[in-house]
Amino acid sequence: MPRSGSIYERFTAHVKQHKLLLKAQKALLAVSGGMDSMAMAELFRGTSYPFAVAHCNFQLRGQESEDDQAFVEQQAEALGVDCYTKRFDTEAYAQQHKLSIQMAARELRYQWLEETRLRTGCDVVATGHHLDDAIETLLINLSRGTGVEGLKGIPIKNQNVIRPMMFTGREEIALFVQEQNLPFHEDQSNQETKYLRNKIRHQVLPVLKEINPELCGTIEDFFSRMQAAATFYHLKVDQARIACVKQSGRETHILLRPLLHLAHPEILLYEFLKDFGFNPAMCKDIFAKIKVQPGRIFSSATHHLLKDRDKLIIYPFDEKTGRVRACEIKAGDKSLHLGKQHFTFRAANIEDISKLPTDPHVLTADLDKLEFPLTLRPWKPGDKMVPLGMSGHKKVSDLLTEAKVPRHQKDEVLVLTSEDRIVWVAGIRPSEEFKVTENTSSFYQVTIDSVAI
């Protein structure tokens, strides 16, 4: 039973209110040996929630790291609970993955904690984050620039990770540890103000608490309001996404007309683009040029964005895709896969010219006018042909523009040639010079079975 009129009761009420843990469930406590995590372990012990202890040794502080691990193991034994430990080569991991030491430790920690939770049959991982940690995170987010998500602080529950100490702050925890005479290890690096979080902790928070002694309670209410605001915000974003964003194979299309008719289109554009690696500054630049001439391309670390006539087209980098080589087609060939397209070939006698297909993805040419082998190749600048129905030559580049082929797909367009004369711009337009007429006895047909443009 929780002890009366104390932090134990408020701890239990917090766990129940947010449905962090059922009585029958077991928590894996992330215990560093510091004041916060040792207070958490005592609250679990004092309220009879079943738990085990897990400790990460990041091997960053020499003998101090080893002492912390030994201390946690001793305390777990004294509490009569299982203890799981892991040593990490954090510096090597940070170098390998090009991360800061702090980010590397965070990744290693949460990955191992989840693996250990699953392996040991625990239901959740519990960390010792409290309200002061959440306020520090809020201030860091504000200093760097943030949206509504950054105003929510640290989530009380995130999938299998719970934060049962988020009902209280550092001062009350320190008083609780003193009253209960709880042992803990102090990480001396927590006092160094060269780290941003420590600078906020030691230089900014004291001033804010001097201004508002009830800061923790005030910010706790603020986080609750921001959580509600974020829920409403994301509902509106999702509604706008349905109206503006369409998927087309590996491409994502953002339709400009509906986007620009919505309130705050620039903010919505960022929400649509952030998952493709475009940061706020890049999205602002894209929005500023949203009405410029089509063809402008923007790039993130993972995706290209093409400004088309009436939409933005986002597509991923594909390092394996390049300009394909030219291929010869002999008279007896039946099929060919080139680039992203599959072609089939056949020759036959004409029975009824009116029944020949007119689909641009099917070429029907006069067989007698062709000289084999034919060549299927990417089009190139300077290519010209006499389009069907015309008497003069026209540049292939102009045909692609008239057909409204998006810029990023133009390189995928192929042309079929006979003795260097273009018979067909595949999927776009056949040539007048090779067309089937009343005098044609046999035709040659090429079909695109899978269309890339």
Dihedral pair phi/psi, residue 335, rounded to 5° = -160, 165
- Please give the domain boundaries of the chain with CATH numbers for all domains: 7-216 (3.40.50.620), 249-316 (3.30.465), 327-450 (3.50.40.10)
> How far, in Å, CA of 259 to CA of 269, rounded?
8
pLDDT tops 80 at residue 318: no
Strand partners, 424: 416, 430
pLDDT-based confidence at residue 124 (cuts at 50, 70, 90): very high
Mean pLDDT is lowest, of 268-277, 330-339, 391-400, for 330-339
pLDDT > 80? residue 325: no
Q: What is the pLDDT of residue 324?
A: 64
pLDDT at 320: 45
144-169: pLDDT as tens digits: 888 888 898 899 999 999 999 999 99
pLDDT digits (tens, 9 = 90+) for 226-254: 999 999 999 999 999 999 999 988 889 99
| The predicted structure's pLDDT at residue 321 | 45
pLDDT at 3: 40
pLDDT over 70 percentage in the chain: 96
Q: What is the pLDDT of residue 24?
A: 84
Q: Where residue 319 falls among pLDDT bands split at 50, 70, 90?
A: very low
CA distance 431 to 390: 9
Nearest to 169 by CA among 177, 179, 180, 161: 177
Secondary structure percentages of the chain, helix, strand, coil, to 5: 45, 20, 35
Percent of the chain's residues with pLDDT above 90: 65
**What pLDDT is stored for residue 323 in this prediction?**
53
pLDDT tens sequence across 346-381: 998 988 787 888 888 899 999 999 999 999 988 888
pLDDT digits (tens, 9 = 90+) for 179-230: 999 999 987 777 777 778 889 999 999 999 999 999 999 999 999 999 999 9
Interatomic CA distance for residues 434 and 430, integer angstroms: 8
